[in-house]
Structure 1
Amino acid sequence: MKLMTALFTITASTLLLSTSAIAKPNLPPPVEDVVKMEKIAGPAGAFTTKENFPKDYFLIPKNLPYLVGMTLYDPSSSNLGLSNEQIEAILKIKKELMASAVEKALVVKKLELEVVEKISFKHESAKAKDLYPKIDEIAKLKAELTKIHLDCIEKVKAVLTPKQFEEMLDYGIVNMF
């Protein structure tokens, strides 16, 4: 069993190194988008060390794939062989859905910071039960944000051929090791 685990690790590492040595992203990382998002988001909350805006405000921020990033900016994305039309279609999806996601994420962040302020910093802190309606509102907005993300996944998948989608999943899994 240990031998198989070691062989798998070596094989995955070799694949990762050889794939990333020849692969390159379809587009360079969108540094300007990151800077723009940081500016829109404003300062992080008092108990936050690093914020990933707007993704941190989704109901499921970590376990759903971010297909725009995987298809355009991942180091292996050139292996997909996307056409210029496909790249443009994915960029259009990103632009269409990003505005509404950012808008909702800003509302969620504002509400979260209000909760933190009321429960943590005021001399006469609010009672937890008084904050429950605001928590329900945050949960509803986070669910709406996640639905936008699901729509994005569905739309990007529709742009890809089945073969491209399988290739993307393969390098996504390899890059997890």
Structure 2
Amino acid sequence: MNKKLFLVVFAIAITFTSLNAAKKPPFLITGMMPHYTMDIKNNWNNKELALNETQKEKLLVVRKDTMTSVISIKKQIAPLEKEVSSKIISGSKPSELMGLVEKIAELKADATKAHLSCLYRTQNILSKEQLKVLTKLTKN
């Protein structure tokens, strides 16, 4: 009976870990850097932001490039985190998990680099005034 209960609890824990991994941002730095392309998408036709057609075209390329990269990385991270979680629960030694942890860290660094590139590219498309407006719009 105790084994069955343990297996059920273990399965539930793994399921919740997987669901949480899918929702978590895949970046090393979270909650401190803006997500310009999402903010711009939410304010695409805002008259105060006043994006012109050329900017919109360039911004769509930046968003597509960034999202393609980050989603791909996120899909790689989630199963690795799940594997670490299940292995540690099943009694693996930390030393046995170091390769997985290093791979997760490398992928998160890659996602963070993609985010930084996105921010930089977006800053070079928008005017200083538009960046100020965007910041104001997203703080409300």
TM-score range, shorter chain: 0.7 to 0.9
Let me know the Cα RMSD of the aligned residues. Answer: 2.4
The equivalent of 1:101 in structure 2 is: 70
Q: TM-score, normalised by structure 1?
A: 0.63
CA distance in 2 between counterparts of 1:139 and 1:70 reads 27
Aligned pairs, how many? 127
Shift of 1:115: 0.3
SS of residue in 2 equivalent to 1:79: coil
- The aligned runs of 1:37-56 (5 Å cut-off) are 45-47=15-17, 53=23, 56=25
Q: Which has more helix, going by share of residues?
A: 2
Q: TM-score, normalised by structure 2?
A: 0.78
Higher RCO, 1 or 2 (CA under 8 Å, sep at least 6)? 2
The equivalent of 1:162 in structure 2 is: 128
Contact 1:71–1:77 (Cα < 8 Å) also in 2: no
The equivalent of 1:26 in structure 2 is: none
Identity %: 27
CA distance in 1 between counterparts of 2:117 and 2:33 reads 12
After superposition, the C-alpha distances for 1:56-110 in whole angstroms (9 at most, x for unaligned) are 1111232110000112214994420111221221111111222121111111111
Of 114, 123, 126, 1:148 maps to: 114
- The aligned runs of 1:72-151 (5 Å cut-off) are 72-74=41-43, 77-120=46-89, 122=90, 125-151=91-117
Q: Given residue 109 of structure 2, which amino acid in structure 1 is its aligned partner?
A: A
The equivalent of 2:5 in structure 1 is: none
Structure 2 residues without counterparts, runs of 5 or longer: 1-13
Contact 2:18–2:78 (Cα < 8 Å) also in 1: no
CA distance in 2 between counterparts of 1:140 and 1:77 reads 37
Structure 1 residues without counterparts, runs of 5 or longer: 1-43
SS of residue in 2 equivalent to 1:95: helix
